[in-house]
Structure 1
Amino acid sequence: MSSKLDRRKKYTRLVLKESFIKRMQEKPLSTITIKEVCELADINRSTFYSHYKDLYDLLTQIEDKIIEDLNETLTSYNYSEDEEAIRMTEKLMEYIAENHESCQTLFSEHGDPDFQKKVIMLAHTHLLNSLKEDQVAAPYNSEYLSLFIANGSIHVVQNWLKNGLKESPEEIAELIIKLATRGVSGLQS
């Protein structure tokens, strides 16, 4: 009986999340109502409130799950190994492709700017640690290089999502790695 409830709970949350993301694709969060999300999900308001306090709570939970998944991927690879850096970037791009509706919406003009900053800072922190370990750049350059690569990579991903994922995750990962490597190479000369 408990697994049936868990399945129903997961389904309800999934439908609410999908309905909310659909609304965010159409208009800013500040103009979305719980009523319209519930109508689209075909779920009553009391059911919504049994899962979330409000739309911001729902948004926070969606964003936190994505941040958690990205962080898990970033921490499971050694960036200083070229092959692992490529594989890690491919894994991130595969994750984004699998969750493209949510990611595209959250990285769009209707998305939460704070979420976008969190993703950039997460990437920045991981890159900074990698650059310090590699000693590729002078210490004062590591922070700037890390910010440059993180911001540039996020914009490449945003454009990839906006253009309908025309390239494969592997192609985008290879592009990001090539751009990041050329930036590092330029500092060594």
Structure 2
Amino acid sequence: MTTLTKREILRAFSELASEKPVDKITVKEITDQCQISRNTFYYHYQDVYEVLEEYLRLESQRMVERLEKDLGSCNPEEFIVRGLDSMISHRALFYNLNQSSGSEVKRYMD
């Protein structure tokens, strides 16, 4: 279970990652958006890439749970459409992850 502060950091990260490549996001931008100190950020995470890792883990977990639920409640065509709709709603994030040039980000995309 994530704490309120961690959820806020993840929310800020998600918003920033929808606006620009992940390797261009700074701890300062996240802390400014969350209105927390850098020390508070570093209490929860080592760096932006650790936030990325947790964000992707949690989103993957949510997606699998949602797809498992949808699989039992709709036909295969509707199931695929719902999965694609979810991906489309996060297209800016996927685009910016792909545009990131840092090797740290690329290792999560392989």
TM value normalised by structure 2? 0.66
| 1:104 maps onto 2:98 in alignment | no
Q: Which one has the largest radius of gyration?
A: 1
Equivalent residue in structure 2 for 1:85, among 55, 71, 76: 76
Distance (whole Å) between structure 2 residues aligned to residue 73 and residue 35 of structure 1: 33
Which sits farther off after the overlay, 84-93 or 66-75? 84-93
Contact 1:106 1:115 in 2 (8 A): no
Tell me the SS of whatever aligns to 2:75: helix
Query: Displacement of 1:37 after TM fit?
Result: 1.2
Aligned pairs (5 A) from 1:115-130: 115=108
Kindly provide the CA deviation profile for residues 62-90 of structure 1, in whole angstroms up to 9, marking residues without a partner as x.
Answer: 11112122223444537xxxx53134335
Distance (whole Å) between structure 2 residues aligned to residue 116 and residue 84 of structure 1: 30
Count of aligned positions: 101
Distance (whole Å) between structure 2 residues aligned to residue 34 and residue 22 of structure 1: 14
Query: Displacement of 1:115 after TM fit?
Result: 5.0
Q: Which structure 1 segments of 5+ residues have no match?
A: 1-5, 118-189
Match of 2:102 in 1: none
**Letter matched to residue 105 of structure 1:** A
| 1:32 maps onto 2:18 in alignment | no
Aligned alpha-carbon RMSD (Å)? 3.1
Equivalent residue in structure 2 for 1:64, among 54, 57, 61: 57
Query: Displacement of 1:91 after TM fit?
Result: 4.6
| 1:49 maps onto 2:36 in alignment | no
Kindly provide the CA deviation profile for residues 75-130 of structure 1, in whole angstroms up to 9, marking residues without a partner as x.
Answer: 4537xxxx531343355356x28xx4xx233311x21555555xxxxxxxxxxxxx
Contact 1:106 1:116 in 2 (8 A): no
TM value normalised by structure 1? 0.43
Kindly provide the CA deviation profile for residues 160-180 of structure 1, in whole angstroms up to 9, marking residues without a partner as x.
Answer: xxxxxxxxxxxxxxxxxxxxx
Contact 1:74 1:88 in 2 (8 A): yes
